Structure 1
Amino acid sequence: MTQPASPARPATSKTTPAGPRPRGFRPDVRTLSLVGVLAVLVLIGGITQPDSFLDTNNVQLILTQASVIGVVTVGMTFVIISGGIDLSVGAIVALASVWATTVATQDYGFAGILFTAVVVGVGCGLVNGLLIAYGGMVPFIATLAMLASGRGLALQITDGKTQTVSVDSVLKLGERDAYILGIPPLVLVFAGVTVVGWLVLNRTTFGRRSVAVGGNAEAARLAGIDVRRQRLYLYLLSGLCCGIAAFLLIVLAGSGQNTNGNLYELDAIAAAIIGGTLLTGGRGTITGSVLGVLIFTTITNIFALNNLQSDVQEIAKGAIIVAAVLVQRRTSTTTS
C-alpha cells in the first residue's frame, strides 16, 4: 500500500527577491537635471565673461543675492506642497523691512531690528493662516488681499521715502570684514534655513503631514490630521521666512523701502516650480527649490554682465517656467 504523495512544496530560491527599492534610493533625475542646467549656465558665463563671471567677488555676489529670495522660497515651497499659494511674500518682506527700519525701532539696535522684522513677518503669516484655515478663504484671494494691504501699509509708514539704517552692527554684517572663510553671513543664514527646511520636510511628522494635506486633504483629515491647524502653521512658517528675508535685505541694502521684495512672489513660485514642486500640492523638494533660485540668480547675473536688456531676461525666465510646468504635466501623466 503506497503512501499518499505529500503536497509539493513551492520552489524556493537561495536568494529572495529584493522587491521595489525605497523611493529614497532612486536617483532623483530632476535634481540631476537642475544641477546640469546650473552647470551649463556657469559654463556659458565663464565663456562669455571669463574674467568677471568666475571672479570670487562675483560668485559671492550671486550667492548673496540668492540668499534673500532663497529664504522666501523655502517657506513658499512648504505652502505649495500643502496645496496652497502665497502671493503676499513680497509685500510682507517690504512691510517687515520698513517697520524694522523706523527710527523708533532702530533705537533698540540690532536685536530690535531683527525682532521686529521676524514678528511682522510671522504676524502677517498668522493673518493669512487664520483667513485661509479658519475663515475658509481661498489662498489666492486671502494672500492677494495681504499683498495689497502690506504694500499700502509699507507706503504709509515710509511716506515713499527710503529709511536709512544707522545701526553699525547691522551694517557690518554686509561688509567683507564679516565674511567667514570667504563666505558672506547672508549666505550662511540661507544655508542654515535650507538645511532646517530640508530636515523638517523629510525627517519630521510636520513635513509628512504637509505632504499629506497637499496630496489629499480629505484623506489626511480622515487619517487624524488637523488640516486647518496644519495650514495655519504653514503660513506662519512662510511669514517667518519672509521676516528673516526682510532682515537679510536690510543688511544687504542698508535701508528699508516700500518697494522692497518687488515680484518676490513670482520669483519664489517660479523657483519652486522648476525645482519640482507641484502646483497642485503633494510633492516638492527643498533641494530642487534652492537649485531653482540659483538658476534664476545666475541667469540674472549673466544677463547683467553681458549688458543684455532686462526684458529679454524676463522672457527667458518665462520660457523656463513654461517648460518646467510642461515637464511636470508630462511626468504626472506618465506616472498616473
Structure 2
Amino acid sequence: MSVETPRTSEEPVGTQEMAAPAATAGSGPSALSRLAGSSATRNLGLVIALVILCVVGLATAGERFGSIDNALTILRLAAVVGVVSIGMTFVICGGGIDLSVGAIVALSSVWATTLATQTLAADIHWIVMVFTALLVGGACGLVNGVLVAYGKVAPFIATLAMLASARGLAELIAQRRTQIVRDRSFIDFFGGSVLGIPVLVIIFAIVAALGWVLLNRTTFGRRTLAIGGNPEAARLAGIKVERQTAYLYVLLGLACGLAAVMLMARTTTGTSTHGGLLELDTIAAAVIGGTLLSGGRGTIVGTVLGVLIFTTLTNVFTLNNVDTSTQNVAKGVVIVAAVLLQQRLAARRRST
C-alpha cells in the first residue's frame, strides 16, 4: 500500500520550476486574498481602529481622555481583562470556549480574601493569597477541562455549569458580603509602579509575551492549533487531544486566578460580583484580534490590540456618560461584525 507524501524543498529543481508558471498564473487573486487574511494586515487594521477611537475620544472628551492619568486608567483596566483574554485565546484556538471565566475570577478573589486565608498570609507572607487564587482558578479550569475532554460534554454546557456553580459558591463563601484585603504590603506591591508603569500593566505585558512564545514557538502551541483545526487529524498524528484540551482549560483557569489577584489589588476587595460579563469582554477581544471561533487560528498580538480597543471604547463611552446597557449593545454589534468579517475572509480564501 503506497502513501503519497507531500513535496518538500528537497525535490528536484525541475519539478519546482514546472509548477511555478501554474502558480504564477493564478497568483493575482490568491496573493491579494492572502494579503487581506494575513495577521500583519489584520493587526494593522486593529491599530488603525485604535487610533480612530483615540481621535474620537479626544474630540468628544478632550483633556479628560487625553490626560496621562486616563491613559494609565485604560491600561490598568486592560491589564485584568487582557490576562484572561490571553488564556481565552488558547482555549478558542483549541476549538473550545469558556463562559465561566468571570465566575472563576469571582470565586478565586473570594477564596483568597477569606479570614482564614488572610490570617495565614499575615503569619507567613501575602504570597499565600496569590497561590490560593491561582490554585482555585487552576482547579476550576481542571474541572472544565476534564468535563470537556474526557466527559465529552460540550464546552458551552460544561462552562455554563461552572459559571453558575462558581458564582454560587463564591456567594456562599462570602455570604454575599464584600471582603476587604487587609494586607497593605499586598496592595502596595500590586498597586505600585516601576518607572511610572503600573505593576498590573507590567504583569499583563509579561503574560502576553509568554503567551506569544507559547503559541508561536513551542510544541504546545502547534498542538493547540492542530487540535483546533482538525481534532481527528491531530489524533492520527499522535497528539493526545484529550490531554491537550484539558491543559488549555487549566491554563485559562490559572489566568483567571492571576486576574483575580490583580483585581483584588486594584479594588482592595474580594467579592462574588467580580468579573461580571468578563466572558463577553475576553471572547470579544480574542475574536476582534483575529482568533477564529471555530479554532485552529489565533494571534496573541491581535488579542492584545482587541483588549485595548474594547477598553478604550468603554472608556470613551464612560467619559461621555453612555449607560452600561448601551455599551454592552455596542460590544455585541462589534463582535457580530467581526465574526461576519472572519467568515467572509475565510470563504474568499477557500474560493481562490
Q: Which has the larger radius of gyration?
A: 1
1:88 aligns with 2:104: no
In structure 2, relative to structure 1, the CA distance for the partners of 1:291 and 1:332 (3 Å cut) is same
1:98 aligns with 2:110: yes
2:343 maps to which residue? 329
1:203 maps to which residue? 217
Query: Structure 1, residues 136-157: CA drift from partner, whole Å, max 9, x if none?
Result: 1111111111111101100000
Residue 41 of structure 1 is aligned with which of 38, 45, 53? Answer: 53
In structure 2, relative to structure 1, the CA distance for the partners of 1:266 and 1:55 (3 Å cut) is same
Which amino acid in 2 is paired with 1:41? L
| Larger CA deviation: 300-309 vs 195-204 | 300-309
Partner Cα separation in structure 2 for residue 49 and residue 209 of structure 1: 46
Partner Cα separation in structure 2 for residue 212 and residue 174 of structure 1: 37
Which amino acid in 2 is paired with 1:31? N
Partner Cα separation in structure 2 for residue 302 and residue 313 of structure 1: 10
2:309 maps to which residue? 295
1:51 maps to which residue? 63
2:79 maps to which residue? 67
2:295 maps to which residue? 281
| Larger CA deviation: 47-56 vs 196-205 | 47-56
Partner Cα separation in structure 2 for residue 48 and residue 251 of structure 1: 31
Partner Cα separation in structure 2 for residue 223 and residue 301 of structure 1: 46
| Larger CA deviation: 135-144 vs 58-67 | 135-144
Which amino acid in 2 is paired with 1:166? R
Query: Structure 1, residues 13-41: CA drift from partner, whole Å, max 9, x if none?
Result: 9xx999999x99x6621111001000001
What secondary structure sits across from 2:197 in the alignment?
A: coil
1:166 aligns with 2:182: yes
| Larger CA deviation: 212-221 vs 297-306 | 297-306
1:240 aligns with 2:251: no
Partner Cα separation in structure 2 for residue 107 and residue 313 of structure 1: 40
Unaligned 5+ runs, structure 2:
1-13
CA-atom RMSD in angstroms: 2.1
Query: Structure 1, residues 172-216: CA drift from partner, whole Å, max 9, x if none?
Result: 1354xx211111100000000000000000000000000000000
Q: Is the 8 A contact 2:87 2:255 kept in 1?
A: yes
Count of aligned positions = 320
1:7 maps to which residue? none
2:131 maps to which residue? 115
Residue 161 of structure 2 is aligned with which of 124, 145, 162? Answer: 145
TM-score (norm 2): 0.87
Partner Cα separation in structure 1 for residue 190 and residue 84 of structure 2: 19
1:226 maps to which residue? 240
Partner Cα separation in structure 1 for residue 136 and residue 331 of structure 2: 31
Runs of 4+ that moved beyond 6 A: 16-21
Partner Cα separation in structure 2 for residue 273 and residue 152 of structure 1: 28
Q: Is the 8 A contact 2:39 2:299 kept in 1?
A: no
Unaligned 5+ runs, structure 1:
1-9
* Equivalent residue runs for 1:15-30 within 5 Å: 28-30=40-42
Which amino acid in 2 is paired with 1:76? M
TM-score (norm 1): 0.91
Partner Cα separation in structure 1 for residue 154 and residue 336 of structure 2: 24
1:310 maps to which residue? 324
What secondary structure sits across from 1:237 in the alignment?
A: helix
Q: Is the 8 A contact 2:109 2:260 kept in 1?
A: yes
Q: Is the 8 A contact 2:190 2:262 kept in 1?
A: no
1:125 maps to which residue? 141
Which amino acid in 2 is paired with 1:127? V
